[in-house]
Structure 1
Amino acid sequence: MLRNNRIMSIPLKSDFIGAWASGLCLVHCTITPFLFVAQTCAASCCEVAPSWWRSIDLLFLLVSFVAVYRSVGNSSRGWMRYALWIAWVLLSLSVSNEYFGVFEVSEILAQSPAVSLIILHLYNRKYCACEAEACCAVS
């Protein structure tokens, strides 16, 4: 019985971690401009965030990738699998666009994939988590 509880906690943990990672990513992206405006470019006057701060984006992408991968493998709904991957791809495109500046995108549009991942992970955790190992094989 304990073994089944451990197996059942895997999708719940990946959705929980995914929702938190996406939420922290959203907070990170939202507060970055305010932190560096508040700093008022004191001594070295730089307009761009330090590389260590920008690398946090990549950490969030990696954590969210693992969370989506685990959640997709344990979701009972086929459409949820596609929705999670689409949201993750859009998030990675949004982060890539921040680095390379290919398109001018509003902040709300750029951060909407993170909000989508939060909502999808929470929905998947509540309504789509497998109740038996066999359900994940069925779409």
Structure 2
Amino acid sequence: MKTDDLSRKADYIGITGSVLCIIHCLVTPVLLVSSSLLQNSPLRAGYLSLDYIFIGINAVAVYFATRHVVSVSLKRSLWGFLAVFSIALVLEHTIPFFTYVAYAASAGLVISHLVNIRQHRLTHAH
């Protein structure tokens, strides 16, 4: 995939990554409690480490989405939500409150990417 294609699709990739992370975070406790497949198996560690993959996907998406953003506040919101999202995911195992912070930051990333898509369309429509 060329970097021009990635820049155009970065917001959609970021939205998809954030929504998948929210779904993953909501489903994980249910699967860990109800599934004997994930009890004391290497698959459990792999499933729980998906958080780091979501951080990586969102970091790449924010990087490419902000390369040509004119609005400084939008650029700061995308990077700020990414920072809060990353910190909250890393620390969610220490304090359960960070799980809710990660949900909020993920929602903030989705909203910021949607605003970026709208801004991009308005800018190129004129």
Q: TM-score, normalized by length of structure 1?
A: 0.74
Secondary structure of the corresponding residue to residue 74 of structure 1: coil
Kindly name which structure, 1 or 2, has the bigger radius of gyration based on alpha carbons.
1
What is the count of residue pairs matched by the alignment? 119
Q: 1:126 to 1:10 in 2, by over 3 A?
A: farther
- The answer to whether 1:121 aligns with 2:121 is no
- The 2-side partners of 1:116 and 1:78 are apart by 16
For 1:98 and 1:64, locate their aligned partners in 2 and report how far apart those are by CA, in whole Å.
18
Among residues 15, 18, 27, which one is paired with 2:14 in the alignment?
18
Aligned pairs for 1:45-84 within 5 A: 45-46=39-40, 50-84=44-78
1:84-135 deviation per Cα after TM superposition (whole angstroms, max 9, x unaligned):
0000000001111124x1x34064333111111011111101124664xxxx
Q: Counterpart of 2:101? A: 109
Inter-partner Cα distance in structure 2 for 1:51 and 1:111: 21
| Change over 3 Å in CA distance of 1:69–1:45 after alignment to 2 | closer
CA distance in 2: counterparts of 1:124 and 1:44, whole angstroms: 38
1:93 counterpart residue number: 87
Q: Aligned partners of 1:98, 1:15: CA distance in 2, in Å?
A: 25
43 and 110 in structure 1: CA distance in 2 versus 1, 3 angstrom threshold? closer
Counterpart of 2:69 in 1: which secondary structure?
Answer: coil
Q: Percent identity?
A: 25
- Report the CA distance shift for 1:36/1:69 in structure 2 as closer, same or farther (over 3 A): same
Deviation at residue 63 of structure 1 after TM alignment: 0.7
Stretches of structure 2 lacking an aligned partner (at least 5 in a row): none
Q: CA RMSD in A?
A: 2.5
Q: Please, what TM-score do these two structures have when normalized by structure 2? A: 0.81
Greater relative contact order (CA < 8 Å, ≥ 6 in sequence): 1
